[in-house]
Structure formats: C-alpha cells, structure tokens
Structure 1
C-alpha cells in the first residue's frame, strides 16, 4: 500500500497494553507498525522524562523512517512535539487529545497523596456503557507503572504550553478523533484545533469515553485505516 510506518504512543500512566485491542486489528493487515512503551513505562527501563518536550526528543532519536504518529491523550502531545521536530512525520492522529491537556490541581493532589488511583477519576475515563469486564482489566493496568510515574505524567501534561504554536506550524495531515463521552479533554478542544490546524479532519465516535482506544477499537481502527489509505 505504502511505505509509511504507524507509530503508536500511549497516554499518561499507561503502557503499550492500552493498544491491545487495536493491535488485534492491525495484525490482520500488512501494515507496518510499532507500539512502544514510553520511557519509564511498562517494560521500558529508562527514566521518565521531565517534560513533554523531553519525551519527544528521546523518541525522535529513534525515528529513522517516514511515520504516521498515532497518539492517545498525552501521547498526542508528544506526537505534536515530534512532528514539529522532524520531516519524517508525514501525518498525525490525535485520539482523545489536544494541543493542551490541563490537569486540575486537585486531581494532581489526589494522585500524589492517595495510596490508590482515585476512583472518581478512573470511572470518568470511560463511557457510560463501558463493558464491566474491560473495567476490571483496566483496574489491574493501573498498577503497571509506579505512582511516581503516573504523577509525573500528569504533571508533564499540565505543564505543557507549547502545543498551540507547534500545531500552527505543522503542514501535514492531522486527524483528531474524539469519544463523544470524553470528560477529560477540554470542552472547547475541537473549535480551538480548527482555529490553528492547517490540514485538519475531525471524527467523533459515539458512546466512548477517554479510553476510546479500548471501548470502540473496531470503529477506531476503521478511521485510522481510512486516514492511512489517503497516503497511498
């Protein structure tokens, strides 16, 4: 079809396992792809970066071919930064992401002070009709990373302020996909992105929350595949 590789970047507090359902779809195709653990996450033993910019710099060092970056949540911020640094990024997909992902100070305080991941924040990450079995899987995933890693991720999201200017500089196709029940990204994300992105398409998938990548993986894959095929 084409020589582009798909590079998947997970979100804050996550690991490459968050893409497990999408991986099943990808394995039925001949698409070349890479799903990675970000530094300091899952099986990646390196230290957690101190900023979104540092995440991007480290991953950019490993990109030696043309790619489409697909980033979920914090992974989208990192994708924006990488795309602004190298011409090897030919397209960018933001899934339940934006050029800024503010985190309320009270959420950071809870993440830092409570022994367990805050239940209210956990439940708010999924749509109302989420499969209970998926929720149980996801509860186990909460502890794949240390508490310090999770706090640092959300702090990095809160501190990232350069996304808007970086998106305005991009001259590559950008696809933003949202879950209709996502409560975690800014309510004005779509209109703000429309104001600054040059080559933007927006898709919305009904009945999914912030973890659209798990809740509606088949629908999501069809949107990603259609975007990928435009590069043929």
Structure 2
C-alpha cells in the first residue's frame, strides 16, 4: 500500500514540479527580444511597431496560444499599404508578464487601453483580431465604437467553440481541471503543432516559436484562464452594437478550420447583417501565418470596394 501511495503521489506531483521548474519570463529572458516593453498596471507588455511613422494606425490582437509573432506576415503587407501597425503580446504569452487572475474581457481590454494611451494613440484605428483576439477586438469595438475605423476578424471566437469533452471538463473543474491542464495540455499542444507544421507559412520558424511557449512558467495557466474567461462569452450583443454603430466589418474564415465551427459564419452573419465575409478554401485556423498573402489581398480588396 505504501508503494501505491508513493506512486500516486509521484503522479500527482510530476506536472506541478514540471511547471515549477519551467523558465521565468523576466528581463533576462527578454534580453534578445525585438521591439519594446511597457510597464502597465498588471505588468510588462511586449510590443512592436511596423510601417511608416505617419500612416493610419492598425492594431493586431493575437489568439489564445499564439503570441504576436504570428502577425509578422500580415504586418509586412499592411506596411506596404501604408499602415503603421502595432502588435503586442497578451498577458501570459510571448515576452509579456504572466499575472494571475481570471482572463475576462476587462483583463484584456485594460491591457489594450493602457498600451494605446502610453503610445499616444488617440485617433481612430483599424483593429485586427485573430481567434481569441477576435473576441477581444469585438469587445473593444463595441465598448468604444468612436475609436474604430474598421474591424477585421480572422477566424474569430465569440460565436461558440467546437465542443471538446476533455477541454470542456478541464475548464469547468476548478482544482482537478488545473491539474489536468498542467498534465495534458503540453502533449495536446505539441500534437496540434505537428499536424499543422506540414503547411507552408509566411512567418519563419512559427511552429518552433509556438512550441517554445511551453518552456515558460505561467503559459499553460494563462491558456486555461482565458478558456474559463473571455472565451466563455457569446458576443451577440456586441456584434449587434457594432452594426448599429456603422463600423465596417470584414470577417475572414478558413474553410478547413477545426477550431472555430463552421456555424460561426452564419451566426455572425445573423448578428451583423452588414458584415462582409470571405472564406479561404484551403485554409485551417492559422490564417495570419499560413495565408497572410491571401488575407492582405482580401483586406486590400475590401478597402478598395469601400473607396
């Protein structure tokens, strides 16, 4: 019986020890990072500007597991279009700090508002949101429609997630869910990266950079906090408010996306009948880094059609 108890103790302790021994995101880890850093109310935020100094401002918000580097292909295209583009790492990802707490909309909106204030961005912006970043962008636009020139959503969350029994259980179970997340997520995440890594990308080494996130303490917990937080929000009222405010919306989807359900297109079309929709036939969920050129072409066509 003692041996059984010791084995069980080892099983329980192993994920906790692995997390404890992961690297800490600190000044030393940020030593080789490109871009700049801002000390905001909840900690350090890593960010980067691209494009001409005096161009119209675009802001790009990344997704649940993919830090700001996934926008590098998009930012090149936006710079050629004359945009001055801001990308940044959400708390818990990339080179930003990993503050604890529920990652609900206010958690993310305060980070974005503080960063824009610090950088002196007072005028109207074109706001891009990818996956979970689509939910954040939608909430921001609905809360401050006078600050938005247009909204571009890439495979956006906010219309419901594809059911996943394991992740759904983890998200709903306060203690055992935390342990299961630490025990299982890394394996699931690496498997997903491997499946996607056969695709050509517009961002060099993007899959290696995704996998590197697992090396840092707090990343897995941040993913779970967002899954329990902003990703539980169904944004019907927000999309209706965006339509009522007259904000132009372009939504771009991957036909082969297994993360955001296909029904999301119809749902968004019902909530905002003025939104324009484009589907990239061969694309999955990784639109910013697997199909950046097609995304930029669609954005350019959208702008030209709007005059």
| TM class by smaller structure | 0.7 to 0.9
Aligned counterpart, 2:137:
79
Equivalent pair of 1:4/1:32 in contact (CA under 8 Å): yes
Equivalent pair of 2:259/2:285 in contact (CA under 8 Å): yes
Aligned counterpart, 2:256:
181
Equivalent pair of 1:22/1:218 in contact (CA under 8 Å): yes
Unaligned 5+ runs, structure 1: none
Equivalent pair of 2:70/2:206 in contact (CA under 8 Å): no
- The 2-side partners of 1:188 and 1:230 are apart by 27
Query: Is it true that 1:97 corresponds to 2:156 in the alignment?
Result: yes
Pick from 191, 195, 214: which aligns with 2:270?
195
Structure with the higher fraction of residues in helix conformation: 2
Query: Is it true that 1:143 corresponds to 2:221 in the alignment?
Result: no
Equivalent pair of 2:193/2:207 in contact (CA under 8 Å): no
- The 2-side partners of 1:229 and 1:133 are apart by 24
Q: Report the secondary structure of 2:237's partner residue.
A: helix
Unaligned 5+ runs, structure 2: 1-53, 171-179
- The 1-side partners of 2:103 and 2:185 are apart by 23
Cα RMSD for the two superposed structures: 2.9
Aligned counterpart, 1:160:
233
Q: How far apart are residue 7 of structure 1 and its match? A: 0.7
Q: Report the secondary structure of 1:130's partner residue.
A: coil
- The 2-side partners of 1:112 and 1:197 are apart by 38
Equivalent pair of 1:70/1:93 in contact (CA under 8 Å): yes
Q: Report the secondary structure of 1:143's partner residue.
A: helix
Q: Residue 70 and residue 149 in structure 1: after superposition, are their counterparts in 2 closer, same or farther (change >3 A)?
A: same
**Bigger radius of gyration, 1 or 2?**
2
Aligned counterpart, 1:169:
241
Q: How far apart are residue 98 of structure 1 and its match? A: 3.8
